[in-house]
Amino acid sequence: MAATTCRVSLPREPAILGHLPMDRQLILFGNGFAPPQSVEAAVLGDKAANLARMAQAGIAVPATAVLPVSLVDRFIRDPEASAAWLDASMEGILHRFGAADDDLLCVRPSPVFNVPGLLHTVLGLGQTPAGFAVHARAHGEAFAWRKRREMLQSYGEIAAGIGPEVFEEALEDLVEQGAGERALCAAAEAAYERESGSAFQAPRGQQIACAIRAAVASWLKARAQNYRDLHGLPHLGGLAVIIQKQVLADADERGGAGFAISRTMEDGAPRIHGMWVPVGPARRKLPLSLWQPEAAGRGEAALESLDPEAHAALSLLAQKLEATFHDAQRFEFVVGEGRVFAMSTEPARPPVKTAMRIACDLVERGMAQPDEALMRIDPLALEQLIHKTIDPMAKRDVIGTGLGASPGAASGHLVFSAAEAAARRAKGEPAIMVRTETSPEDVVGMAAADGVVTARGGLTSHAAVVARGMGKPCVTGAASLQIDSARRKLTSGSRVFSAGDMVTIDGTTGEILLGALPTVLPEISADFATVLGWADTHRALGIRANADTAAEARTARDFGAEGIGLCRTEHMFFKAERVAVMREMILAEDKQARDTALERLGPMQREDFEALFAIMAGLPVTIRLLDPPLHEFLPNREHEFVDTARALGVDVESLRIRVDAMREVNPMLGHRGCRLAISHPEILDMQARAIFEAALNTQARTGTVITPEIMVPFVCAAEEVRVVRARIEKMAERIERERGLKPQFKIGTMIELPRAALGADRIARECTFFSFGTNDLTQTTYGISRDDSSPFLALYRERGVFQSDPFQKFDVIGAGEMMRIATEKGRVSRPELTLAVCGEHGGEPGSIAFFDSLGLHYVSCSPYRVPIARLAAAQAAIARKARRN
Amino acid sequence: MAATTCRVSLPREPAILGHLPMDRQLILFGNGFAPPQSVEAAVLGDKAANLARMAQAGIAVPATAVLPVSLVDRFIRDPEASAAWLDASMEGILHRFGAADDDLLCVRPSPVFNVPGLLHTVLGLGQTPAGFAVHARAHGEAFAWRKRREMLQSYGEIAAGIGPEVFEEALEDLVEQGAGERALCAAAEAAYERESGSAFQAPRGQQIACAIRAAVASWLKARAQNYRDLHGLPHLGGLAVIIQKQVLADADERGGAGFAISRTMEDGAPRIHGMWVPVGPARRKLPLSLWQPEAAGRGEAALESLDPEAHAALSLLAQKLEATFHDAQRFEFVVGEGRVFAMSTEPARPPVKTAMRIACDLVERGMAQPDEALMRIDPLALEQLIHKTIDPMAKRDVIGTGLGASPGAASGHLVFSAAEAAARRAKGEPAIMVRTETSPEDVVGMAAADGVVTARGGLTSHAAVVARGMGKPCVTGAASLQIDSARRKLTSGSRVFSAGDMVTIDGTTGEILLGALPTVLPEISADFATVLGWADTHRALGIRANADTAAEARTARDFGAEGIGLCRTEHMFFKAERVAVMREMILAEDKQARDTALERLGPMQREDFEALFAIMAGLPVTIRLLDPPLHEFLPNREHEFVDTARALGVDVESLRIRVDAMREVNPMLGHRGCRLAISHPEILDMQARAIFEAALNTQARTGTVITPEIMVPFVCAAEEVRVVRARIEKMAERIERERGLKPQFKIGTMIELPRAALGADRIARECTFFSFGTNDLTQTTYGISRDDSSPFLALYRERGVFQSDPFQKFDVIGAGEMMRIATEKGRVSRPELTLAVCGEHGGEPGSIAFFDSLGLHYVSCSPYRVPIARLAAAQAAIARKARRN
């Protein structure tokens, strides 16, 4: 855990490097050398490990020497001794490596994880006077001079920091005059001497040693260090360096270099495509295959036409790579010395729909196991496949049009700032955020909003990129809109819209529409079902959905939810026609008036529960008792005061005083959750009755036994659960007397306060399940109110105080530790305790991996997140098993 | 820990009781029996353990048999087998006990801890026909019949539940007619037969067995069970039962019984006093000593006159008891059989001033060690000695007079409800709560207020009792005041006062005065100093004070504080003349305007710090950086808006919009603490500069090196401390460049958020001390806002959901566990880490014991709590060492 934040200081080892046979640590493979048995990326870095795997698979790889991570760590720890060693032993290493006089060598960093600003491949090193003669003899003097000039430029940059523009300037006129390679080389050498202050005289070993030092230096640059600090990555153990024999493509008239992808990006068919640059002065990028759009109209330029043999060799190479890496690949190649060499390879990373097709294809062909194939699909990318679209039958009142920057449809209240978006979100209300353009400070608001509209920017604008990442509908470049954030007005022609107005956006067509339009779900492909089917067999976590309405419950089941993990009963009361009764209940002057209102609310709740039970057809349904402070239901706007005062038969002013008296300084920490159930047992009674009656009614109608799971929110002490449970049990007995049938039910607690986690052993004695409310747990553990946090959280992330928003990415150090304590203590008291998560983190893949590691029973997330959670849970379980082996 | 809340179920043992030699477990002592070697109250119960200690000390104690706790536990676990055993073996036990035919026996519960509703002593049991004959022969028939009648009444009550009133009624007429004892006994026996439905025929053993069963049954009554549940006391291990030979005082014409206290309550002089009832029909309570006020005008009735020999014996007994128990005692005695017997003893519990005198006297005489004597003084009672009084020179504008119900003087804003009191308290403002009368629901408000006034009630009214318990000034029965809580008005004659008006109350004279009058501290007695001197040598915890002003700092030093543990810098800005500048700073439109305001605030802070440093003269001073959200400084009332708008040169309406925009939904979890220091580094710079300049200035003037301890509030992540520390260090370097002198300082963190506790290992790497802010830690651990909690916390305590207010009595399960985790983790990273508490719990004795057990370095509390904390810390350390031995 320490790795995620602390600034690693580099431990110093005794300076005994000079005495150790460091060259024995070199790993050699490729032409003439046997591939290593173990190809751990942690030892070789990613790039070298892939090269080694290719060599193991019999794929042509140039001769390669790797300075493994352990050796580079020594360079980092003791740069002086290492430099001395490098200078002293490089010639010997090259000899052992079998580098001939005329071999050219390149040096490439091979990091274990990506870090920005690393040195690129340094080409054309390792030159000797003898080599020059061999080149001149074999390929002509021009070739030899060119190679020497290229080496000078490479070496000049790494040894003396001479930028490429210096050499370009020095050669420019000569090139225009059509000067020969010898003259160009002389000009480059003169430039080198001028810039570095001394004549070039680096023997072969020194050229390589210098490049290795440059690779290590690039790893230690401030930018890379800061990046690692910020992302909690270690400074040691992250870098290996490759020395590789170069393929002399330009000594071969059919030579060239490029990249290829083993499959199409559209449908995942096993047909290579890519681009290459053939040898020669033109340096034109040409397509590989005739079917590529780039080949349209100039088929003769494609490799497939120019050199069908090389194209076939590449296709064969692509197949070998897929067979080796069990996935579609994007690889770099060189054609030269009469062969095709693979220089590097990485996953092809197609769009998620294609990725699923490829995964299915590889498994069908027996080229990959389902668990392997599953790991290749980004769970968050699934959102792209499951977005809602606007019902085609709906009447569209278009108020503006822009670019469809992130697919899907969403409705919400117009908001003009991140704070407004967060405020709506906090109230459970949808929001569409409207900005002239977005900046990183808006990310928090975008996360809180359901959709984003910008007046400026294209498909790669900040808003577009971020929204796609979040899987949220986004329209950019809606230039017809004038946005006045200060006055919170949106003008489109002669029409003016205000904050709070309801709009719908279509992130596919780019339309902004007035009102909340009905939406429909996309059709789901067979591959989607296949992949999620595999996921279901591999995951350990159950997946439920947070659903308060019949529509949400239906969506949840369609997406494969195994039950409802959280039904927020208060959402049923925020509906306009019900909130009036709710207000009458809360503001009732006496018990009788309150009971009358409750008698009207009860049947409404019962009907809601009946609908949920019917849709879930016996799957578990977890119902949370009323959670928000009662004042959240009370009037806010003038006309609400008037309506409520009339309904209660009181005057507006005295109503206002009573409402004001109920407000709280810190409602988040106020009179809410089970505190309400204890202070207002009549509300608890109403809810318990509605749950039991709905369960028995549904049971009678369907014949399936319904066992609702009643969840007590905001618990801080076991005594609270005891009091609430006793009251619920009393109601169950009463219902049994009335109906002659015993209601079945379970009682559990939300664990969302630190004290509940710390006292979980006591609480577990009072109930049979825990569901972690990770939102409130994050708020209280951090002491951050989500409603107010936007301004300073954005600042914290900007300044690197926080790496991520803890409301998006679950915080393992704080809230995670609370969960670990609660899980352990709860299980001590009740080994069979059911453990779950029902906060928003339940649908976030990184958080799901943590929940899987705690051995929870299920996560519950929003219905649209269910497929993501299914896949993420499978990946977490597979990765956990792999770690264990 | 489980014991504090769980409902203990009684484990069942195999029913092998009948086969065990239970009578071997009996413990016998007193006349003829050797006292037991070990006299643990946990084995014998309190009463029996004291009797045994008396027997050990050679004090006359009647023959006593104790059924120890382990035996009574068996009765509780298996009542049936126990009943059988009791019936079968009681006669044998009495034989072993040496009970003669004519001995009378009593049965008394001897609980380990007090529980309400236990059986009282049952007298006159163990009678036999043979014994009747012996009594008749020795003391006359009347005596024998009376004893038999008394036994019938005792037995009738425990065996058949016949209340005393039944027998009184049955005998009433006969007594009036002057009937003899034989007739009275016959009438009692007839009443017994009538009420119980059968004739009396209980042999001696059965009488005793029945009383033992009644004692156990009283322990298991619902009332006692609930009490134990509520107080987390165990159901087992808490009760022993005594069988004791009765002293036949009424067979002795000089006989009688009563209680005596070994010292005077006024000055602790070793002179006994008390009351007794001599044998005879009058049953008049008479004083023991001539000096007692009860003896005034009827000196002949005092025991000292009636029986100087017995009085001398009692005086000698009192001395022996003090020598045995090392404390002043209150003991029960019987004079009979020509001797004085001690029946029970307990600490005398004098007023605290006397208790300190006695403690000093006992130590001076070598009768007690200081550590023992220290344990006898209730730390909270010290508050009575250290109350402020109104400066006699101050001009008094009396607006009402009542009874001086709780001593001391206090000034504060008038408040009319608990909620208002809590709100003032939350803002750090003093409050005087005014009520017509108080009820338990007002307790929370009284705790939050600085003083209490009621219009009704006397010196023992609810308000008076509770206020004395809290050590707060209180005036009751101020009948001239009319209190209108709804309109929040106080009327006195023609004068009307409103909520918020400043008043001062004198809880000694009972006066209510207009305005905030200056107060002075009482003179402290030599005993006070002696006792606290002992405390200082025994305690492990350092004691500092929370002080924001020079006056508080001076009080703190006077009371023996060893430094300032918390200086709340924001309190310096709430002063009227400064808050205007603060508002200008917060609402500044640009950097320049803000810097101008900060330049005015800086010197004010510096002067405040200089005053504190000068008073503390080199003792540590811990200064907390600005903590509350900035909007707390902004205008609230209309005239403030007008003033501020004028100062800023803006219109009131636009000011109102800006102020509203700064308000937070949950300010407790808002933009405060170090979040401010990070978002507004210019404020941090101003504070750091003021601290460093004040330290260097004071250092220059006094020659003492000042090392301020700068405390970073509301930390949730180590990165925050790193950022703030870096900025402070930069300012220190700047000051060093300006002054040529390096400022000394330490940097520490408030640990007041759960995440800070959980991440304490990381945070400890960034700073050298932790100070636990137990108030905020309680708020976030519980999810309770102190501002809003009054209504439901009162309800929770009423219904037994909570046993205490966690803001008064520190919660060990939640916040305590967070502290334990933080302490452990912090010490792992930095073994020399300084650990402290600066919340209000730092002055609460029960909480101090917990902090001592964690091995903290110091607690910091309000200045007036310093003596309490010194004594409580000593008691905690002494108790901890005793547990270890």
Helices then strands, counting H and E runs in chain B, come out as 32, 31
Report how far apart, in Å, the C-alpha atoms of B657 and of each of A233, A555, A711, B590 are. 45, 43, 41, 18
The percentage of chain A sitting over the pLDDT mark of 70, rounded to a whole number, equals 95
Q: Which token pair is A473? A: 């509908």
For B65, list phi and psi in degrees, rounded to 5. Answer: -120, 135
Which residue did the predictor score with more confidence, B359 or A800? B359
Mean pLDDT of chain A: 89
For B416-531, where are the E strands, in sequence order? Answer: 431-435, 451-454, 474-476, 481-484, 489-492, 495-498, 502-506, 511-514, 519-520
Residue of A5, A669, A725, A763 to mutate, interface with B, max B Cβ within 10 Å: A669
Rg (chain B; Cα; Å)? 33
Could you give the strand order of the β-sheet that contains B286-287, starting from the edge strand earlier in sequence? B286-287, B273-278, B256-261, B329-336, B339-347
- Among residues A823, A822, A883, A809, the alpha carbon closest in space to that of A855 is found at A823
Comparing CA positions, the residue from A620, A557, A541, A560 lying closest to residue A848 is: A541
Rounded distance between C-alpha atoms, residue B432 and residue B411, angstroms: 7
C-alpha–C-alpha distance, residues A712 and A626, integer Å? 9
User: Chain A residues with CB inside 8 Å of B669's CB?
Assistant: 666, 668-669, 779-780, 783-785, 788
Considering the candidates A210, A567, A838, A861, report the single residue annotated as catalytic.
A838
Around Cβ B701, how many Cβ atoms within 10 Å?
A: 11
For residues B121 and B139, what is the distance between their CA atoms, to the nearest angstrom? 24
Q: Which residues contact B38 (CB under 8 A, 6 or more apart)?
A: none
> Which candidate in A6, A758, A786 is best for mutational testing of the B interface (most B CBs within 10 A)?
A758
pLDDT of residue A381: 82
- For B573, phi then psi, to 5°, come to -95, -10
User: What pLDDT, on a 0 to 100 scale, did the predictor assign at position A344?
Assistant: 93
More confident residue, B719 or A548: B719
In angstroms, how far is the first alpha carbon of chain B from the final one?
21
Task: Answer whether B665 sits within 8 Å of A759, measured CB to CB.
Answer: no
pLDDT at A839: 78
Q: Would you state the structure tokens that stand for residue A667, as one six-digit string?
A: 């409602």
Q: Please tell me the predicted confidence (pLDDT) of residue B243.
A: 95
- Give per-residue pLDDT as tens, A344-403: 999 998 878 889 999 999 999 999 999 999 999 999 888 778 778 788 788 899 999 988
B666 to A788: CB separation less than 8 angstroms, yes or no:
yes
Residue B542's nearest CA partner among B623, B625, B620, B624 is: B620
Pairwise CA distance, residues B582 & B600, whole Å: 9
Residue that the structure tokens 């496949």 belong to: A385
| Degrees, nearest 5: CA angle B136-B139-B145 | 50
CB B811 within 8 A of CB B782: yes
**C-alpha distance from B726 to closest chain A C-alpha (Å):** 13
pLDDT reported for residue A831: 97
Strand partners, B504: B411, B513
Could B679 and A792 be called an inter-chain contact, meaning their C-beta atoms sit closer than 8 Å?
A: yes
Q: What local confidence, expressed as pLDDT, does residue A747 receive?
A: 98
Q: Out of A192-201, A278-287, A685-694, which region has the weakest mean confidence (pLDDT)?
A: A278-287
**Secondary structure (3-state) at A736:** helix
Contacting residues of B for A819, CB less than 8 Å apart: none
pLDDT score of A314? 96
A818/B788 Cβ within 8 A: no
Q: Is A632 helix (H, G, I), strand (E, B) or coil?
A: helix
Predicted confidence band of residue A542 (pLDDT cuts 50, 70, 90): very high
Active-site amino acid positions of B: 462, 838
3-state secondary structure A228-254: HHHCCCCCCCCEEEEEEECCCHHHCCC
pLDDT band at A3; cut points 50, 70, 90: very low
How far apart are alpha carbons A762 and A756 in whole angstroms? 9
Among candidates A5, A787, A796 on the partner chain, residue whose Cβ is nearest the Cβ of B665 = A787
Q: What are phi and psi of A111, to 5 degrees?
A: -75, 155
pLDDT at residue B5 in the model: 33
Please give the pLDDT value at position B16: 39
| A722–chain B nearest CA distance, Å | 9
Its pTM surpasses 0.90 = no
Handedness of CA A711, A715, A718, A721 (dihedral sign): negative
Helix A41-56 × helix A69-77 angle, to 10°: 150
Q: Which residue has the higher pLDDT, A616 or A808?
A: A616
Q: Between β-strands B122-125 and B105-111, what pairing exists: parallel, antiparallel or unpaired?
A: antiparallel
Spatial distance between the Cα atoms of A636 and B276, rounded to a whole number of angstroms = 71
Share of chain A above pLDDT 90, in %: 58
- Contacts of B139 by beta carbon, 8 Å cutoff, 6+ apart: B248, B251
Residue among B426, B666, B719 whose CB faces A785 most closely: B666
A726 contacts on B by Cβ (under 8 Å): none
Binary contact (B669, A785; C-beta < 8 A)? yes
Contact B274, B327 (CB under 8 A): no
8 Å CB contact of B755 and A716? no
**CB-closest option in A671, A755, A785 to B814:** A755
pLDDT at A689 over 50: yes
Per-residue confidence (pLDDT) for residue A426, from 0 to 100: 81
pLDDT surpasses 90 at A721? yes
User: What does the pLDDT read at residue A838?
Assistant: 92
Where is B737: in which H helix or E strand?
helix B718-739
B399: enclosing H helix or E strand? strand B398-401
CB B632 within 8 A of CB B717: no
Residue A707 pLDDT class (50, 70, 90 cuts): very high
Element containing residue A710 per DSSP (H, E): strand A709-712
- Segments of chain B with pLDDT less than 50: 1-20
Contact A788/B818, CB-based, under 8 Å? no
Q: Which of B719, B720, B754 sits opposite A754 (nearest CB)?
A: B754
Q: Which of B231, B755, B785 best probes binding to A when mutated, by most A CB atoms within 10 angstroms?
A: B755
CA distance B508 to B510: 6
Q: A9: pLDDT confidence band, cut at 50, 70 and 90?
A: very low
Q: Considering A311, A326, A462, A680, which one is annotated as catalytic?
A: A462
Beta carbons within 10 angstroms of residue B705's beta carbon: 10
Burial of B182 (0-12, 13-18, 19+ CB in 10 A): middle
pLDDT at B442: 76
- Residues on chain B touching A668 (C-beta within 8 angstroms): 665-666, 669, 783, 785
User: Looking at residue B260, what is its pLDDT?
Assistant: 96
pLDDT of residue B538: 97
DSSP string, A238-294: -EEEEEEEPP-GGGSTT-EEEEEESS-TTT--S--EEEEEESSSS---EESSTTSGG
pLDDT at B93: 85
Contact B723, B678 (CB under 8 A): yes
Give the pLDDT of residue B249: 87
B51 to A107, A160, B55, B343: CA distances (angstroms): 93, 97, 6, 7
